[in-house]
């Protein structure tokens, strides 16, 4: 489903084309499986609007969280026992 999410956010290909590319010859079955995994239909995941779509929000939130974890790890790696964190 990661590839399907990527294609939905970065291309204007039809949901049927994306479903077939990721191994689902039936776009309706793909849509049901996509919604079960992501909590959003493919159409709503890609929804173009002036505000970020749910899918874009989830993608950016994941990246922000990953960056925060990396930052925390680097701070912990350079901190000695008993020293206060900044």
- The answer to whether residue 84 sits within a structural domain is no
| Domain presence at residue 83 | no
* pLDDT on residue 33: 96
Inside any domain, residue 86: no
pLDDT at 61: 60
pLDDT in tens, the chain (86 residues): 999 999 999 999 999 999 999 999 999 999 999 999 999 999 999 876 545 555 555 666 666 666 666 666 666 666 566 666 55
What is the pLDDT at residue 7? 94
Q: What CATH number corresponds to the domain at position 40?
A: 1.10.10.60
* HEC readout, 42-55: HHHHHCCCCCCCHH
Q: Provide the token pair at 14.
A: 């039809």
* Domain-located, residue 45: yes
The range of the structural domain enclosing residue 22 comes to: 2-78
CB neighbours (10 Å) of residue 32?
13
Flag whether 85 is in a domain: no
User: Is the pTM for the entire model greater than 0.85?
Assistant: no
């Amino acid at each position: 489903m990661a590839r399907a999410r990527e294609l939905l956010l970065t291309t204007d290909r039809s949901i049927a084309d994306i479903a077939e590319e990721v191994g689902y010859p039936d776009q309706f079955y793909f849509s049901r499986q996509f919604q079960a995994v992501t909590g959003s239909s493919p159409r709503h995941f890609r929804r173009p609007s002036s505000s970020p779509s749910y899918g874009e929000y989830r993608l950016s939130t994941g990246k922000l969280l990953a960056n925060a974890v990396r930052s925390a790890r680097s701070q912990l790696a350079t901190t000695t026992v008993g020293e206060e964190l900044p």
